[in-house]
Chain A
Amino acid sequence: MNMNLLAVAPEVIVVVAVVALLMIDVQWRPGPVWWAIAAAMGIAGATAAVALQWVDYRGADAASFFSDMIAIDGFGAFAGMVIFPLAGLGLMAAWPLIRSQGGRGAEFVVLVLIAATGAHLMAAAANLIMLFVGLEVFSISLYVLAGFTRERVDADEAALKYFLLGAVASAIFLYGIALVYASTGTTSIGGIATYLRSTILLRPGVLMAGMAMLLVGLAFKVSAAPFHMWAPDVYQGAPGGVTGFLAAGAKVAGFAAMARVLAVALGGRIDDWAPAVAVLAAVSIVLGTLLALVQSDLKRMLAYSSVAHAGFILTALVAGANGIPDMWFYVATYAVQVLAAFTVASVVSGATQGRAPLSDYTGLASRSPWLAGMLGLLMLAMAGIPLTAGFVGKAAVFRSAIDADYLWLVIVGVVSAVAGLFFYLRVIVLMYMQAADEESGHIPVPGGARVVLVAVGVLTVLIGVVPWPLLTWLRDALPL
């Protein structure tokens, strides 16, 4: 058996931190400071481990270990470098929520850490079974997180909905794995790719059905239409502090898995799945944009906008492996933006609250100019205004799609992006051009949220102004 501890180092480090945290918490009940220390060490260690993987393996072909279960390559390492810091930011943003839960707060920290390992396993899996394990570890943590505030009924409802629908999607995905196995005789991602390239299937029906089901399962996770209907209810119901990580983590992990499955394992059948992905992308972009327009709740609006963004990211995938660097660029920059946007929502509307009605944001600029400025910047970035990372991301995925001869998809995307301006700018208009309610005062910003917002704001503008280093970096490192 080919073993390499570096391959599992990120997961091992996080799990050690989780176990230590749980045991210390049970024994001494030391309080939130020690949770933060344990989480910080786990995340820092895992980030260091994926950074090491990146240094050693970027630009090279995937090397797989542990009986062809886990791969180390630039792809997985970069995913880790997004996921683990994202978990850290998510915890910082959620800190008021964690403290408000008293002794149960430790569980919250543990769940976020475990979700992060699951997400990274999805990205680093070399085998569909491993990928499924990661998917379940990740998803089950998120189900619990969504309903973490037990006292609020709509949060419980959101968690239950997420769980029921997620279970259906997982089942479909698992059936897809079985069908692909039936047709190719292996569950190894590399093995499937080799088999499909070297073999002409006379009766590909079973494989085709398997591909369709894999696609359904993953499209559900990234909330692409028409598998998106859970997203608005879950994002709106879940407590404000956790929604950001829920939305951002699901996108990163889901697209990492999707790229592995479609572009790598099924890369040889790109002519079969690319049109389907293109249609999913177009439907997601159009539906997400149209429905976001009519929302009166910020979190719900962001949920529909995330459906549209899922469509934009899928746009990069129609180019197959060639679109992966652009996909990662978009996913990484969008993930931090959506995390930060939900962070603002949790600060303004309350960390344990579900709803974030847009009326909370009227005249925010005069009450809390700093918060309003950050949310305004994030809205511009999501709308894809130049000099923000959002613009570069859109330009990059559109170019991928044009290179792959999907001009119609790009036209749909551009038109929808223009229409999307309406709801992003509506938030800015509300904040800056309308007077605040008389009794609402200044909103204090917790330290953690402040760090998250500053970090994301700086990154968004910096990458928007100077995108080349990151773009070329990704292109060099992700040959896949």
Chain B
Amino acid sequence: MTGTLVSLAILLPLGGSVVLLFAGKRLPEPLAGVIATLTVAGAFGCAAVAAVDFLTGAGEALTVRWFDWMPAFGVDASLGWDRLSALMTLVVTGVGALIHLYSIGYMKGDARFGRFFTYLNLFIASMLILVLADNFAMLFVGWELVGLCSYLLISFWFERETAAAAGKKAFIVNRVGDVGFIVALMVVFAHFGSFRFDTVFESAPEVLTTGTATAIGLLLLVGAAGKSAQLPLYVWLPDAMEGPTPVSALIHAATMVTAGVYMVARTGAIFGMAPIAAGTVAVVGAATALYAATIAVAQTDIKRVLAYSTISQLGYMFMGVGAAAYVAGVFHLMTHSFFKALLFLGAGSVIHGMHGEQDMAKMGGLRRKMPATFATMTIAWLAISGIPPLAGFWSKDEILGTVFERGGAWTVLWGVGLLTALLTAFYMTRMMWLTFFGEPRWDDGVHPHESPAVMTIPLLALAGLSVVGGLVNTPFRTTLEHFLDPVFDAVRLAHVPTGSTAVALAGASVIAALIGIGLAALRYRDRVPDETGFAWRLMGRGYYVDDVYGQVFARSGKLAAAWLAFRFDARGIDGAVEGMGALTRKTGGWLRPIQTGFVRTSAAGVVLGAVALLGWFLWRGGL
């Protein structure tokens, strides 16, 4: 029963995308979106019913076997249903369904309306395959499908050259990470002879040496950094803004970027044996968090602020899972998906109302024109800034607290995290002020208006989640902690601080948030300050990292490709192939005269062959 529901959770959106692929063009406009939304909502329903047992404490992890897939590698196409995948499934389908609903309004009138929902459904199905996989091979299938869907959706408006380029960039950068992931899978298979999670994790302590575990961990980190946009592979995510805004919301909140965090949490057994790899994860996370936050401060495009903010928040999650605070990392993943989806959809609503304007310099004063958007965005702003009792506070504080509690060098990471919290509050306040407060700076002819209900209802739902979502795991009530206990029991290394330490740490991060909000409010209260100095430009361009990548990797890559294609392939490979073809043809032509077509020649062939065969057999038989 539970197994059927879990399978249905994947098959519903998958089926939806297949149906829409063939029928999407013929369906009238809202219907395609309604079907897509219903399949994802249905998947959420299935997952919720299947997860009831876990909530009552009666549920056992189970495996749903679909079919023999690669018998040679001992790999079945099968799903694993445990508490972690249940939580991920609920987040993905829940937030995903709201984003689907919102898209019906946002994509209204688009020429490829049906096709958009085909991809959107496939995206959800791919992410579900990823989080429900019970072996590395299935995980990899989901991993790659997610990459494909992001490519399709980011470049959905492929008529725009920038969108097409952004899609390619996302795909290529992800492939760089995939190399690490694939090599990690090879090492895993070479040592365990299996791709199954339970086999690998159970026998890891006997099979792996610390060195091997470190190698696997670092390789997995390369893959995770690609998919979750961490240093140095984050460059694709800001450009992914070229896709329609609901796609950004989906990529940033429910699917795709959370895959890396999930994967590190899932493979906690390996990271637990490799302190160096786990530490590297945390350091990469902390560095990314701070780095991206400084860039977000100087962005003028509302969606780019949010993009760098996602990278920064993902840094927190990496810090958490790297510090073995798996519950905290996954907790932040969950709350972040609520308020980041809300922020993106809110930004989409603003862009929609502003007729496609994304530059915050041309906004301002929107709070009266778009009251629902403003109210919900305010909640998201406070949630991400870490103001209690909203969702972001609890999860961020749990990560920071756990990191602090580990002591030693980890305290430095905690400091970085605290500084990032201050910056986060600052740039989010800046965004809110430039957008909603102050005097209108609209272009002529722009008449902002509130978005239709199909768009504001998802905003309200997400706002509700952003308020209460954090309450599932507070120092007073550790529901989520208990819920995920069976998954992470074996790999628990870190602890949440208690008593006065906890209060002091919470106080510190609240104060940091308030300082950030206060500074920004002062600075942007009644004017738009000039932000064109050198430091602002440096941060605005993301420290020119993208430009350097473009010069170093993209240019040299193109040169190498040109050499391979026009020199090596055209002369070397083609030459060899054509040479062989010419040689065989020549031999064939030389043989051709034998085939005269005369019956006597053919008969001679038969007789000669017969004599030869007779000769052989008689020689064997010794007559």
Give the interface of A toward B (CB within 8 A): 161, 164-165, 168-169, 172, 203-205, 207-209, 211-213, 215-216, 219-220, 225-230, 232-233, 272-273, 275-276, 287, 289-294, 418-419, 422
Contact = CB atoms under 8 A, between A and B. Distances in A.
Nearest to B619: A208
Nearest to B609: A226
A272 B622 CA distance: 12
Contacts of A216: 606, 609-610, 613
A418 B581 CA distance: 10
A226 B585 CA distance: 20
Most buried by B among A172, A228, A293: A293
Given A291-B588, A294-B592, A419-B580, A168 B603 contact: yes
The 8 closest A-B pairs by CB, nearest first: A208-B621, A229-B602, A208-B617, A205-B623, A290-B588, A294-B588, A212-B617, A293-B588
Main secondary structure of the interface of B (DSSP, over half): helix
A212 B617 CA distance: 6
Given A220-B606, A422-B585, 13 more contacts: A165-B606, A168-B606, A172-B610, A207-B621, A209-B614, A209-B618, A226-B609, A233-B597, A233-B602, A276-B613, A290-B587, A291-B588, A422-B581
Interface string B578-608: 0011001101110110010101011101101
Interface of B: 580-581, 584-585, 587-589, 591-592, 595, 597, 599, 601-603, 605-606, 608-610, 613-614, 616-618, 620-623
B610 A291 contact: no
Given A209-B617, A291-B591, A229 B601 contact: yes
Question: Of A168, A203, A233, A290, which is in contact with the most chain B CB atoms at under 10 Å from its CB?
Answer: A290
A172 B589 CA distance: 31
Contact of A161 (B602, B606, B609): B602
B584 to A, nearest CB: 5
Contacts of A165: 599, 602-603, 606
Contacts of B585: 293-294, 422
Contacts of A209: 614, 617-618
A215 B614 CA distance: 10
B589 A294 contact: yes
Contacts of B599: 161, 164-165
A169 B606 contact: yes
A215 B613 contact: yes
B620 A208 contact: yes
A204 B602 CA distance: 30
Contacts of A287: 591
A26 B391 CA distance: 91
B580 A226 contact: no
Contacts of A212: 610, 613-614, 616-618
Nearest to A287: B591
A230 B597 CA distance: 8
A251 B458 CA distance: 66
A272 B620 contact: yes
A272 B609 CA distance: 17
Nearest to B596: A229
22 contacts: A164-B603, A204-B622, A208-B620, A209-B614, A209-B618, A212-B610, A213-B610, A226-B605, A226-B606, A229-B595, A229-B601, A273-B617, A276-B613, A276-B616, A291-B592, A293-B581, A293-B585, A293-B588, A294-B589, A419-B581, A422-B581, A422-B584
A418 B592 CA distance: 20
A292 B592 CA distance: 10
B621 A272 contact: yes
A51 B129 CA distance: 41
A406 B609 CA distance: 22
B588, B591, B601, B618: most-surrounded residue (chain A CB, <10 A): B588
A68 to B, nearest CB: 27
Nearest to B68: A468
A169 B63 CA distance: 62
> Which of B581, B595, B609 is packed against the most chain A CB atoms within 10 Å?
B609
Contacts of A272: 617, 620-621
B605 to A, nearest CB: 5
A275 B609 CA distance: 15
Contacts of B609: 216, 219, 225-227
A222 to B, nearest CB: 13
Contacts of B610: 172, 212-213, 216
Contacts of B580: 418-419
Nearest to A164: B599
Nearest to B592: A294
A275 B617 CA distance: 10
B176 to A, nearest CB: 27
Contacts of B592: 291, 294
Contacts of A289: 584
Contacts of A291: 588, 591-592, 595
A387 to B, nearest CB: 16
B618 A208 contact: yes
